[in-house]
Amino acid sequence: MVSSVSGSPEAIALTQRSSTHYFQRPDRSATGEGLFDTRYDTTATSLQGYGLYTRVGKDAGGVLRWEAMANIRSPGFEVNDLSFLSRSDFKWFNGNIAGSWTVPTRWYRSIFASFGGATEYNYDGDRTWSQLQGFYGHEFQNYWNLRVIGIHNFISHDHRLTRGGPVVKRAGYDFGSVGISTDARSPAVFDVAVELGRGVGDDTRTFRLSPGMALKPASNIFIQLSPSYNRDEDAAQYVTAVDDPTAAAFSGNRYVFGYIKTRTVSLDTRVNWTFTPDLTLQLFAQPFIASGQYASFREFAAPRSISKLVYGADLGTISYDRATSSYRVDPDGPGPAAPFTFGNPDFTTASLRGTAVLRWEYRPGSTFYLVWTHERSDFDPVGSFDFAGAGRAIFRGRPTNVFQFKATYWLGR
């Protein structure tokens, strides 16, 4: 696929600097490539790029399975006018080999196991992703299912972490997940999954618990409840960037990061109710609460490094002003660097989103839809997790209600 966008120099420069591209990175080595020029050019009036996805594999026949995939987006690839593209500038390659046993025995009804690896490079040649992954799926004789996933991400470069700044190194990551679900044919199906993650090279941690149930109290009613609890700790969460001519290694900027602890609770609820073959009701609701608390603000010791220097411990001084809810950092103490301030990034957010869809087929092929969308939210600049308080805060927010009508009519013979 080839893309091309055009506009004023200001519009194209804004596109180049967007989070999809980050053409302004000071350490980019990309040069002109004719039609697919990858230089940051504030006078350009167009931007071209290309993308490619291909897969070859063996998906049936015998026990052995395999696949090889490639996914490429050039730095100038831009299709956000038509769809959603979060990033470009990557060449991703993935390969897996697997075994599939589908003839039931006394130990299983089926087994699927796979192992593979993936790697990714940007157009500067930096390896930005490298991992090994494995999967094991086991269906027991009673139709229960077991799922086990293991992933190891290696330490790699990251050209996006500083959000337009120089390349730094991202810590590796070990991830494991175990899930089990009961017989999907039953009127009550239960599922639970536990995920654990640990950083390699920093103190990043992840824990997620996702129980769930699907109920069929009657042949025409389906209810699904999917609660989730996440506890995450990230040692390199971007906070802000400030100008500092003394930060020569980072091209005159300081990129501030923080150690963040986040807690997230949500409950996805779905109900499908078929009153008659011609009249149905679908409901979806999601209460959501998340908090984030920052500490140990820091910066990378140097470009292309994984080491970080914590303000007040390894570098300069830091203080907090409660009256203004802001931090003041003097990055080199008595040195020439000017102090700077930034606001307290702690947060708690709570929201409730819901949708109801009533469908009535009033004659064959002709349908009437009534859709109601409800949303309300609340924000508090406090990072401590208070489930009860945040739950009550949901209903303090001003609701937004949107009603939509749609009707179709079949022009038949």
Task: Answer for the pair 365, 347: CB distance below 8 angstroms, yes or no.
Answer: no
**Nearest to residue 168, comparing CAs of 345, 308, 71, 57?**
308
Q: Is the pLDDT of residue 41 over 70?
A: yes
Q: What is the pLDDT of residues 158-214, one digit of tens each?
A: 999 999 999 999 999 999 999 999 999 999 999 999 999 999 988 899 999 999 999
| Predicted local confidence at residue 273, as pLDDT | 98
Give me the torsion for CA of 234, 240, 241, 247, rounded to 10°.
-50
Q: What is the pLDDT of residues 59-117, one digit of tens each?
A: 999 999 999 999 999 999 999 998 999 999 999 999 999 999 999 999 999 999 999 99
Strand 253-276 to 279-300 pairing: antiparallel
CA distances from 384 to 98, 190, 348, 372, 381 (A): 44, 32, 8, 34, 10
Question: In three state form, how does the secondary structure of 289-321 look?
Answer: EEEEEEEEEEEECCCCCCCEEEECCCECEEEEE
Domains in the chain: boundaries? 211-413
Q: What is the pLDDT of residues 336-369, one digit of tens each?
A: 999 999 999 999 999 999 999 999 999 998 999 9
Average predicted confidence (pLDDT) for the chain: 94
- pTM of the full predicted structure? 0.89
Q: What is the mean pLDDT of residues 375-403?
A: 86
Q: What is the pLDDT of residues 137-161, one digit of tens each?
A: 999 999 999 999 999 999 999 999 9
| Predicted local confidence at residue 393, as pLDDT | 79
Q: Is the pLDDT of residue 33 over 80?
A: no
| Predicted local confidence at residue 34, as pLDDT | 63
Q: Is the pLDDT of residue 399 over 80?
A: yes
Percent of the chain clearing pLDDT 70 (strictly above): 99
Q: Is the pLDDT of residue 30 over 80?
A: no
